[in-house]
Amino acid sequence: MAGTTWEQVAGVTPAALYRTVRLIRRFEERAIELVRSGDIVGGIHPYIGQEAIAAGVCAALRPDDLITSTHRGHGHVLAKGADPARMMAELTGRVTGLNRGRGGSMHAADLSLGVLGANGIVGAGGAIAAGAAWAASRLGPPRVAVSFFGDGAVNQGVLLEAFNLAALWRVPVVFVCENNGYATTLTVADAVAGGICDRAAAFGIPAVSVDGMDPQTVLEAAAPLVAAARAGCGPQFLECHTYRFDAHHTWEHKARPRYRSAEAVAAGRSRDPVDIQGARLDAADRLAVDNEIERVIAEAVAFALISAAPSPVDATEHLYATGLRPRPGAS
Amino acid sequence: MAGTTWEQVAGVTPAALYRTVRLIRRFEERAIELVRSGDIVGGIHPYIGQEAIAAGVCAALRPDDLITSTHRGHGHVLAKGADPARMMAELTGRVTGLNRGRGGSMHAADLSLGVLGANGIVGAGGAIAAGAAWAASRLGPPRVAVSFFGDGAVNQGVLLEAFNLAALWRVPVVFVCENNGYATTLTVADAVAGGICDRAAAFGIPAVSVDGMDPQTVLEAAAPLVAAARAGCGPQFLECHTYRFDAHHTWEHKARPRYRSAEAVAAGRSRDPVDIQGARLDAADRLAVDNEIERVIAEAVAFALISAAPSPVDATEHLYATGLRPRPGAS
Amino acid sequence: MTILSYLKALGRALGDEMARDERVCVLGEDVRVGVSNVTNGLLDRFGPDRVLDTPLSEQAFTSFATGAALLGMRPVVEFQIPSLLFLTFEQIANQAHKFSLMTGGQARVPVTFLVPGSGSRLGWAGQHSDHPYSLFAHVGVKTCVPATPSDAYGLLASAIRDDDPVIVFAPAGALGLRADLVLSSLAPVPLGVGRVARPGSDVTVVAVGHHVTDALAVADDLRGDVSVEVFDPRTVYPFDWAGLAASLERTGRLVVIDDSNRMCGLGAEIVATASEEMRLVAPPRRVSRPDGTVLPFAEALDRALQPNRAQLTAAIQAVVKD
Amino acid sequence: MTILSYLKALGRALGDEMARDERVCVLGEDVRVGVSNVTNGLLDRFGPDRVLDTPLSEQAFTSFATGAALLGMRPVVEFQIPSLLFLTFEQIANQAHKFSLMTGGQARVPVTFLVPGSGSRLGWAGQHSDHPYSLFAHVGVKTCVPATPSDAYGLLASAIRDDDPVIVFAPAGALGLRADLVLSSLAPVPLGVGRVARPGSDVTVVAVGHHVTDALAVADDLRGDVSVEVFDPRTVYPFDWAGLAASLERTGRLVVIDDSNRMCGLGAEIVATASEEMRLVAPPRRVSRPDGTVLPFAEALDRALQPNRAQLTAAIQAVVKD
Ligand SMILES: Cc1ncc(C[n+]2csc(CCOP(=O)(O)OP(=O)(O)O)c2C)c(N)n1
Ligand SMILES: Cc1ncc(C[n+]2csc(CCOP(=O)(O)OP(=O)(O)O)c2C)c(N)n1
Ligand SMILES: [Mg+2]
Ligand SMILES: [Mg+2]
């Protein structure tokens, strides 16, 4: 297990981790611009500031491992290996999107990469991840599932029930709580009685809390938990302390609800995961990554915007896996 | 607070506690006979063996305090002061019943006594009790609510959510878990990861575990928790270890599912709350109580069986508090 | 006269009811900041004891409200997403709704559930675009879908004063509406009483929520050719059957436009009851979402599955031809 | 020939499908002991990895099954009480049902939800007597309500083999039925295909679940006076509209007996669709539960709110008179 850990961590170069956080950051910045330009309808929940968690945790996973994501899911989906172009095409509602334009930001999924989907319902992913990991490991060699969720999700009954099921049945799932201090406008202090790790620990789940702003730290914390889950030690829990740099959702850019002072936001943004990891590369290498990412993002946006939107006549396609077509709403 | 405790406990004589457990025991024994005779339709979940918990906890409450009960609720409702005759009339579906024959065993309620009802859904009472205690204390002097539930309920999401809400808002509610070792046929070991008290403690709720077979022990454990809740210290948690002497539900008397060995049941029944408390009375006093209870139960059954059943024409009465009558199912 | 938006009308109803009755309180996510733009300002006016920000524990705070209502409070629970009603279906349909009957009339549960922004919010995709009022009509929970700012005010006020649980759906498609009205004219609108939004003689169009605006527009386009009566039930359960029957006495023809899924939706009930009991000289028609609709993300697909004016126009023309 | 009970037919279907496909597993409360009398013996045959006793965490084990289905398992989830479907409404209607569309067809969720003993179980009162299949028809989850032992076998088998979520309601009123049949004749019954349980020429009675038995009995009583065709849809969603239309071509008259609440129930959809699209020479009628029904405990009240043979007889006689 220690071996696995070491190998897992060592297998990931600082440049690789940097590339991931930089990719997510630039993807989100461009996505916000596309929200402003109206190319992304409905807005997004930006992941900016929390990139270290997706990057660090997914670096500890194997290609066939599984994840469930959240409403703030772009980072997870990209870190698990999704094609940024098809991801951007999904956000802009194109047939070339990961979900053929049916899902959008809150449901982006790539089952071929073990990405079981972002989810619009807070806390919904935990039980799905547990069932998926259980099934995968029953049908073949153990595959670990990571369920990402926010601090708000630890107050959702179904997630707490999932902790119990996973612990009882020793399911290879790692629960990753991204504690960014807020559920929309509500602080953790006003929302969570007791400690977040204590909540997981009460179900007999080993729980650790780490600095979620440093990709390397997150990777080093995640790798042994993933290895332990894979080795049959049952579910593991990782709390990552982080900060949401931008809006809860892009509607905030217009509505501007007051719940975080300018000073608090400035303080929260003072430690930037992209810079923290970037500082570990020498200038030339960092620049090379940055340039490559600019290309990738530019190509992603171009691909998305030239792709076709799905045709209204196909609006009920995929409603049923069996191809059943529902009766129309008007004859 | 210590004062309150002392006074509370001292105010309850051993005879009073014995009377309650004996009342519940005999009520249940007669109710089982009425199930056999067909006078109670649908069967019941007998409380036999667990009487010490309802008796001890309710003895620590004031008349205007509140409780929510469970599918196995007869003991709680009686211990909070419900009229055994109207309770028996409810179980036999009579207009004179506590709920006018509309609720039956699983929904028996007496709001005038603060009994917010037995509930057919496991774990549903906790949040209702919390809201009721919050409201009562907002509209007047603090009133404590006790929410009774079984070991199976600690795996219900809504109950865990209720722990969090009650703790956050310092609601005067006492959560009482009746751990009888089984949820129907599933053992606690196979159902609950971690410890039951640890689960409550994780939400910052003071939690204690006691012998639930001794009414005096339960009372002495409950009184300070009730006093603490009333004093504004927020929710409290009490786990009572007990044993279900009879069937999960009277259908077991016919179906006889195999999940507890005869030896195990015999061992579990070896400590009887009625005898434990009865031994604290001298023979004459105990006999006096027993005779009185026989009268009470005989009168209750007689009252129930001579009472009228509700008329079918009133089947939708009380569906809406405003008196709205729904359209019939056939014209 | 003042210009009042639908959203402001909801907020005004809340504020007026809270001022009128101190047992009225509001619970929900981000209600203090007022993220839904309904509860803004209530915290300053009524304080934190009556405006409670809840953690993401919809099931518990829904039953918490039920428990508070059992003790005499009149809580208003705000849900940020229509599908949170799925998450709390047990607490609403199996607990709050059933307490009165199960206790033989001992209990009353005066709780109001408010969903600002029900139905499609373009671009919010499959889990944020449901319009499940027919589910609650089926289980028998009182349910309103106001179409105008003054009905938004009046129905929410009545819901809060009602002694039973009531759900108020405020369709995303109606939130932006504005009305020019005299504030002093705002008053409770009785539950279960519809209104003729426009009188006509050839066909009755029953339109629900934001589709009332569509029905009025279509009626306008068709004036001259077809005289369309627009009937807005306002409350979907209990439904104003007498009002509908009176309209069909006049027109004898029926079209329903309803943002429910077709199968077992409100439109089905209206068509069924009219067919069984009322005057119909031609087969009725529905304009609804398809069966089992999940709204896809892409804008063109989302729009394609919502009832629209073209479909309504076609249905009206077909019905008057028959 | 063998006598097979409805309950045993369900258990047999489960056992046969588990033997046929090792991806099929069963989860639920007390399924190892087999408290519902459906899963008895499966533990011994298939072992604890495929027969899982769950804690009282319906929401989590429902989504656990969805997750397992996403990875290729075909879980069968048993619920002890119909209203547990209220508790898991989010997990079924908002997650399992929506995955295929939301992922653009990447995901399939072959999970089966089985409710042995749906509807009234005399004496179980308000929270244990619901019959909510119309709710799932409305949201678009495939839903069956078998009326006979062989359909119980065949529809459960098809549900397990189907690549979408399917709910199977086994009405308490049907569990005791027995059929004399050749075991080798048991086979999957396709979803969405109804059957004419009895041919007739004057009126079509659509009967759901245990009411098929009532409809056949009433048809027998009325024979001579009225020739009643009994149509059993078997699957309530997707509904066999072609089968119904064919029957109405023959009879032109319609009565529906359905254990749903009246408002927005399955009966409403059948009456509405027939009125819009099919041949009807007289106004149709429904026999159902009242609006918003909560079944009271007392036996006489419980029975009074369930559809019965007298109501069906009266409805048939009224419809043939019109
Ligand atoms: C069950 C549920 N309740 C409410 C919402 C509306 N909502 C979306 S995100 C959010 C806050 C989530 O907070 P957290 O879990 O901390 O994640 P974060 O947004 O901070 O990343 C809320 C209330 C939802 N999507 N699901
Ligand atoms: C939410 C829910 N799930 C399942 C059931 C069916 N059921 C009734 S009692 C019971 C077991 C409850 O066990 P526990 O909470 O320990 O209480 P006990 O019966 O031991 O007193 C079950 C599974 C139910 N009523 N509610
Ligand atoms: Mg957060
Ligand atoms: Mg128990």
DSSP result, A202-227: TTT--EEEEETT-HHHHHHHHHHHHH
Nearest CB neighbour to C264, from listed D86, D98, D264: D264
**pLDDT tens readout for residues D130-153:** 999 999 999 999 999 999 999 999
B6 band by pLDDT with thresholds 50, 70 and 90: very low
Sorted by sequence, the CB contacts under 8 Å of residue A315 that are 6+ apart come out as: C296, C300, C301, C304, C305
For the full predicted model, state whether its pTM sits above 0.90.
yes
Size of interface B-D (CB pairs under 8 A): 153
Which residue from A41, C142, B255, B241 is spatially nearest to D34, judged by alpha carbons?
B255
Please give the number of the atom of ligand 1 that sits closest to the Cα of A45.
19
- Å from A284 to nearest chain D CA? 40
Whether residue C45 has pLDDT greater than 50: yes
For all residues of chain B together, what is the average pLDDT? 96
**pLDDT tens readout for residues B23-81:** 999 999 999 999 999 999 999 999 999 999 999 999 999 999 999 999 999 999 999 99
Q: Do residues D76 and D23 lie in contact, with contact meaning Cβ atoms separated by under 8 Å?
A: no
Please give the number of the atom of ligand 2 that sits closest to the Cα of B45.
19
Whether residue D275 has pLDDT greater than 80: yes
Annotated catalytic residues of C are 128
| Alpha-carbon span A310 to A315, nearest angstrom | 8
Mean pLDDT value across residues D151-176: 98
Q: For the beta carbon of residue A303, count every other beta carbon within 10 angstroms.
A: 18
Whether residue B9 has pLDDT greater than 80: no
CB contact under 8 A, A190 and B199: no
Mean pLDDT value across residues C230-254: 98
**pLDDT tens readout for residues A46-98:** 999 999 999 999 999 999 999 999 999 999 999 999 999 999 999 999 999 99
| Alpha-carbon span A37 to B11, nearest angstrom | 74
Helix, strand or coil for residue D204?
Answer: strand
Whether B187 contacts chain D with CB within 8 A: no
Whether C44 contacts chain D with CB within 8 A: no
| Alpha-carbon span C262 to C286, nearest angstrom | 8
Q: For the beta carbon of residue A231, count every other beta carbon within 10 angstroms.
A: 14
Mean pLDDT value across residues D286-299: 98
B7 band by pLDDT with thresholds 50, 70 and 90: low
| Alpha-carbon span C146 to A225, nearest angstrom | 52
* Angle (CA) B106 B111 B115, round 5°: 55
| Tokens found for residue A207 | 């729980």
Structural domains in chain A, CATH included, are 6-314 (3.40.50.970)
Q: Do residues B31 and B24 lie in contact, with contact meaning Cβ atoms separated by under 8 Å?
A: no
Q: Which residues of C touch D277 (CB under 8 A)?
A: 283
| Alpha-carbon span C110 to A299, nearest angstrom | 56
**CB contact residues (below 8 A), chain B span 124-143, against chain C:** 124, 126-136, 138-139
A11 band by pLDDT with thresholds 50, 70 and 90: confident
| Alpha-carbon span C195 to C232, nearest angstrom | 5
CB contact under 8 A, C128 and A311: no
CB contact under 8 A, D268 and C269: yes
CB contact under 8 A, D290 and B329: yes
Q: Which residues surround ligand 3, an ion (CB under 5 A)?
A: A 150-151, 180, 182
Sorted by sequence, the CB contacts under 8 Å of residue C153 that are 6+ apart come out as: C4, C9, C10, C12, C13, C186, C189
* Bridge partners, residue A165, by sequence: none
| Alpha-carbon span D171 to D208, nearest angstrom | 10
Residue B241's H or E segment, with its range, is strand B236-241
Residue B313's H or E segment, with its range, is none
- The CB of B94 under 6 Å from ligand 2? The reply is no
Q: B207-211 and B236-241 as β-strands: parallel, antiparallel, unpaired? A: parallel
Whether residue B3 has pLDDT greater than 50: no
A26 band by pLDDT with thresholds 50, 70 and 90: very high
The chains in contact with chain B, meaning 3 or more Cβ pairs closer than 8 Å, are A, C, D
Please give the number of the atom of ligand 1 that sits closest to the Cα of A188.
16
- The CB of B101 under 6 Å from ligand 2? The reply is no
**pLDDT tens readout for residues C144-159:** 999 999 999 999 999 9
Q: Which amino acid is at C193?
A: V
Q: Kindly tell me the sign of the dihedral angle through the C-alpha atoms of D282, D286, D292, D298.
A: positive
Distance B149 CA to ligand 4 centre (A): 8
Q: Is D128 a catalytic residue?
A: yes
- The CB of D29 under 6 Å from ligand 2? The reply is yes
Q: How many Cα neighbours within 13 Å face the side chain of D316?
A: 32
**pLDDT tens readout for residues D72-96:** 999 999 999 999 999 999 999 999 9
Q: Which of D127, D289, D297, D305 is the best mutation test for B, with the most CBs of B within 10 A?
A: D297
- Å from B195 to nearest chain A CA? 7
Q: Give A67-120 as a DSSP string.
A: EE--TT-HHHHHHTT--HHHHHHHHTT-TTSTTTTSS-GGG--BGGGTB----S
Whether residue B291 has pLDDT greater than 60: yes
Percentage of chain D surpassing pLDDT 90?
99
Size of interface A-D (CB pairs under 8 A): 157
pLDDT, residue A7, reads: 52
Which 3-state string (H, E, C) describes D83-114? CHHHHCHHHHHHHHCCHHHHCCCCCCCCCEEE
Measure the N-to-C terminal CA separation of chain B; round to a whole number of Å: 62
Distance A163 CA to ligand 1 centre (A): 19
Helix, strand or coil for residue D198?
Answer: strand
Whether A2 contacts chain C with CB within 8 A: no
Chain A residue closest in CA terms to B156: A161
Q: Do residues D120 and D173 lie in contact, with contact meaning Cβ atoms separated by under 8 Å?
A: yes
| Alpha-carbon span D267 to A182, nearest angstrom | 47
pLDDT, residue B8, reads: 60
pLDDT, residue C291, reads: 98
Prediction ipTM score: 0.98
Question: For ligand 1, which residues put their CB under 6 angstroms from it?
Answer: A 71-72, 120-123, 150-153, 156, 180, 182-184, 248; C 29, 56, 58, 80-81, 84, 87
CB contact under 8 A, A326 and C293: yes
Q: Kindly tell me the sign of the dihedral angle through the C-alpha atoms of C232, C235, C237, C243.
A: negative
Whether residue B5 has pLDDT greater than 70: no
Q: Do residues B148 and B129 lie in contact, with contact meaning Cβ atoms separated by under 8 Å?
A: no
For all residues of chain C together, what is the average pLDDT? 97
Of the listed D128, D131, D210, D211, which one is catalytic?
Answer: D128
- The CB of B47 under 6 Å from ligand 2? The reply is no
CB contact under 8 A, A202 and B204: no
Residues in chain B: 331
Which residue from D35, D2, D102 is spatially nearest to D11, judged by alpha carbons?
D35
| Region of C220 on the Ramachandran plot (φ > 0 left; ψ -120 to 50 alpha; else beta) | alpha
pLDDT, residue D1, reads: 84
CB contact under 8 A, C56 and A328: no
Whether B156 contacts chain C with CB within 8 A: no
Q: Which amino acid is at B115?
A: V
Answer whether the bond into residue C238 is a cis peptide, omega within 30°. Answer: yes
Whether B167 contacts chain A with CB within 8 A: yes
Which residue from B244, B283, B234 is spatially nearest to B52, judged by alpha carbons?
B244
Whether B123 contacts chain D with CB within 8 A: yes
Sorted by sequence, the CB contacts under 8 Å of residue D33 that are 6+ apart come out as: B185, B257, B258, B259, D40
A139 band by pLDDT with thresholds 50, 70 and 90: confident
Q: Which residues of D touch B103 (CB under 8 A)?
A: 125-126, 297
pLDDT, residue B272, reads: 98
Which residue from B7, B41, B18, B54 is spatially nearest to B250, judged by alpha carbons?
B41
| Tokens found for residue C5 | 């938006």
Q: Do residues D319 and D253 lie in contact, with contact meaning Cβ atoms separated by under 8 Å?
A: yes
B1 band by pLDDT with thresholds 50, 70 and 90: very low
Whether residue C322 has pLDDT greater than 90: no
Note the ligand closest to the C-alpha atom of A53. Answer: 1
CB contact under 8 A, B183 and D56: yes
Whether residue B146 has pLDDT greater than 50: yes
- CA A168 from chain centre, in angstroms, equals 26
Whether residue A3 has pLDDT greater than 50: no
